[in-house]
Structure 1
Amino acid sequence: MSVLLIEAFYGGSHKQLMDLLQEELQDDCVLCTLPAKKWHWKARTAALYFMQTVPTSTNYRVLFASSVLNLAELVALRPDLGKLKKVLYFHENQLAYPVQKCQERDFQYGYNQVLSWFMPEHKLAHLEKVIGVKRNGDAYQLEGLPGRQKSGDLMKNSNAHGESGLCTPQHEGLPSPLPAPERLNKAEASESTNPCQEEDKQHLTFNLCNIMSGRDSQQRPLHVAWPHRWEHDKDPETFFKVLLKLKEKDLPFHVSVLGEAFAEIPDIFSEAKKALGSSVLHWGYLPSKDDYFQALCMADVVISTAKHEFFGVAMVEAVYCGCYPLCPKALVYPEIFPAEYLYSTPEQLFKRLQNFCKRPDIVRKHLYKGETAGFSWAALGGKFRSLLAAEPREDL
């Protein structure tokens, strides 16, 4: 195996990316991981753990890791790994990550990222020549990959939070997103088929007749999806505040609150579930990707209220499944979604949803106007293969 994959937080989008790379590289890689628990503890101590557990090998050529790992510490503890070409994938920027409470920020995590990312000028010049890294102010961009960083961000070699810019292998060959009526009228996908996969050029979607009880697109209440981690940086408070305002006005809607929860769940989730009552269609994490995609295919609108987002793979996946996206006019979203799908304030979000609740057929007949094909593995796979296939050299 020539590629060493290291993930200190093996869950969510971190796991999704590592599993994808392992599947593509097959026998040419070895994957070393730690469970997706106690994130802060992993950021502080993972280097010491991997120093002891990563097997030694003369075959390694490339080390690929996420920025949860303090890479500088690891290569100091394991000089044999310091000789490898190193690719560090940033899922988030810890220097700008929103703090949950008004208190002094712990800069250790951002400092880890700074130490791990530092690149000497001669190595940058080599990358510019070999794989197309370009300087953009004080940031760097791998040419051809969809850049998500602003000047000064730590994201250098890829887009992040996919909470990465990659879609899963099942997305390869996906057609353009379907308008809702076409999704509902297509033949039911087989149980062995991913609902968002295309085979033999046929669109495979779900037959939702039983779920919808035969009601037409105007009679069925608007179905809103929120498919994000149950944590404060996704700003669930704003999302639920908007929904409860809709409910106060007796506007009909259903909501599916998806995404993964961890040890500390913000109180707003239990409070909102009780207040929303019969409007809740689904509540909780779906470990099966097929079940998750089916839930997205059932929804009409997908919403983000995030305060920190480098990419947002959940939003792109939902668009693939036919959802109408509504995102903040901030962060990475204006780079991905046309202006039609952006809002500037919670009040604007409420007004958009209010109109959709009154006329759900508007979104069900809508055909997404943006481009998503560039985020599929079919488009990005070659770039990653080239990045991880470099031959060992003295100047790497």
Structure 2
Amino acid sequence: MKILILSAYDAESHKAWRQHLVDMLPFASCTSLALPPRHFSWRIRGNALTWALAQHATLCKPWDLVVATSMVDLATLRGLVPELAKVPAIVYFHENQFAYPASRAQHASVEPQMVTLYAALTADRVVFNTHYNRASFLAGVAALLDKLPDGVPPGVVERIADKSDVIPVPVAIAGVSGKKPDDAFHLVWNHRWEYDKGPENLYYALARLPVELPLRVHVVGQRFRREPAVFSDIRRLLDERAWLGEWGYLTKRECYENLLSNAHAVLSTSLHDFQGLSVLEAVAAGCVPIVPNRLAYPELLSTQWCYSIADTEGQGPEFSEADACARMVRLRVEEWMRAQLPTAPSLDWLSPAEQAKHYRHLVKSVAVKKTNGGPEGTIAPV
């Protein structure tokens, strides 16, 4: 079986998913085309043009299956390269453009949403990493279509829902070291240094913690040329309280995995996470999760590990999610001080070995064309 994998915005999580996919399909010969994760607006709208002309010979090969991320403008690519229109296709959604929080620096545009909508419609199967991702995408499509003035046929959302699945990105289970350090409670915040990961929430939560807590806070993750100014405030706070641990991106994977293996807990303050791979990696390495009771987290982790504004009931209207986060961090530190910190939940069900059977079944079922002369996902009249 010959499979073409297309990743139009090959961020770290997308790259990891691609590599897992190839490893899980030993029976297939896989070829990947990937574009760098920069210039988002151009990348999501221009990838079909880039590939159709620069990679035409590769695209025209006799593929048995195309597996594309949702950033791929699959509808346009199939139009520019008609040979691809004959090949069954799976579109994988790591995230969706309907539930992504817009920043003040972004211009409002419906383009990214329409690209992913058309990709979902032209695909034979649509796969989401979580039920939260699937539900928020379908709800976003419905809301968008309701705003359009005319020419919207019925059944669009139902068509996508009927051919959709939920299969998570596998999480490699790192080896957990023996005894955790006892000099302080080691807390990791390991996300991209961007606004959507909630660095302001991180700052407010840390500021609400008692100064005397024996904390070591590691703020790591991918950094960019421009980053929210609040990171300077976070570092100043950690310095003042002698809580500062690792700071900045750890370029060596071994160093990062050692940090996760030795830490006691991992923290998310995100405004959006469609699966939260960085958190799940840390949990797999033995970190206790401290995550918001929203997004994909209640689905993936028990609410035992989630904080919410409801946790501050009776405390007054000025209490926020940051207060709830701080309360859970303090609780975990106090449990650790009493040697009663709970064990991190098992994520064996997310391992590549467990998820491989779902991916293999998906690939084999979609790669078989219908006997009616066209791919399973060919659009017919509603």
TM-score, structure 1 normalization:
0.76
Distance 1:87 1:297, change over 3 A: same
Please point out which of 280, 285, 292 is paired with 2:244.
280
**Aligned residue for 2:137?**
153
SS at match of 1:151: helix
**Aligned residue for 2:272?**
308
**Aligned residue for 2:191?**
228
**Aligned residue for 2:350?**
375
Measured against aligned partners, the alpha-carbon deviations of 1:184-210 in whole angstroms (never above 9, x if no partner) come to xxxxxxxxxxxx14xxxxxx62677xx
What aligned pairs does 1:146-295 form with structure 2 within 5 A after superposition?
Answer: 147-149=131-133, 151=135, 153-154=137-138, 157=164, 159=166, 165-168=169-172, 171=173, 196-197=174-175, 205=177, 212=181, 217=182, 220-246=183-209, 249-277=211-239, 278-295=242-259
Distance 1:313 1:118 in 2: 27
Mapped pair 1:336 → 2:300:
yes
Distance 1:276 1:92, change over 3 A: same
Distance 1:112 1:337, change over 3 A: same
Measured against aligned partners, the alpha-carbon deviations of 1:248-269 in whole angstroms (never above 9, x if no partner) come to x332211111211223211111
Q: Unpaired runs of 5+ in structure 1?
A: 128-139, 172-195, 198-203
How many residue pairs align between the two structures? 331
Distance 1:141 1:81, change over 3 A: closer
Q: Give the stretch that moved more between structures: 335-344 or 97-106.
A: 97-106
Distance 1:15 1:308 in 2: 20
Mapped pair 1:347 → 2:341:
no
Please point out which of 359, 371, 374 is paired with 1:395.
374
* Contact 2:332–2:341 (8 Å) recurs in 1: no
Distance 1:5 1:41, change over 3 A: same
* Contact 1:228–1:258 (8 Å) recurs in 2: yes
TM-aligned CA deviation for residue 58 of structure 1:
4.1
Distance 1:352 1:339 in 2: 12
Q: Give the stretch that moved more between structures: 327-336 or 33-42.
A: 33-42
Measured against aligned partners, the alpha-carbon deviations of 1:102-151 in whole angstroms (never above 9, x if no partner) come to 8762221111111111159xx6xxx7xxxxxxxxxxxx878xx8634353
Distance 1:98 1:118 in 2: 24
* Contact 1:356–1:362 (8 Å) recurs in 2: no
Superposed CA RMSD in Å reads 2.7
TM-aligned CA deviation for residue 392 of structure 1:
3.8
**Aligned residue for 2:360?**
385
Distance 1:341 1:322 in 2: 14
SS at match of 2:135: coil
TM-aligned CA deviation for residue 235 of structure 1:
0.6
Distance 1:102 1:38 in 2: 14
**Aligned residue for 1:30?**
31
* Contact 1:226–1:303 (8 Å) recurs in 2: yes
Measured against aligned partners, the alpha-carbon deviations of 1:152-210 in whole angstroms (never above 9, x if no partner) come to 525974558xxx63224xx3xxxxxxxxxxxxxxxxxxxxxxxx14xxxxxx62677xx
Measured against aligned partners, the alpha-carbon deviations of 1:231-257 in whole angstroms (never above 9, x if no partner) come to 11111110122113326x332211111
* Contact 2:20–2:170 (8 Å) recurs in 1: no
Distance 1:222 1:99 in 2: 34
Distance 1:320 1:85 in 2: 34
TM-aligned CA deviation for residue 375 of structure 1:
1.3
SS at match of 1:23: helix
Please point out which of 84, 89, 100 is paired with 1:86.
89
**Aligned residue for 1:116?**
119
Distance 1:237 1:363, change over 3 A: farther
Once superposed, which parts of structure 1, at least 4 consecutive aligned residues long, lie more than 6 Å away?
Answer: none
TM-aligned CA deviation for residue 17 of structure 1:
0.7
Measured against aligned partners, the alpha-carbon deviations of 1:24-82 in whole angstroms (never above 9, x if no partner) come to 44661111111222222211211111112331444301111111111111111111111
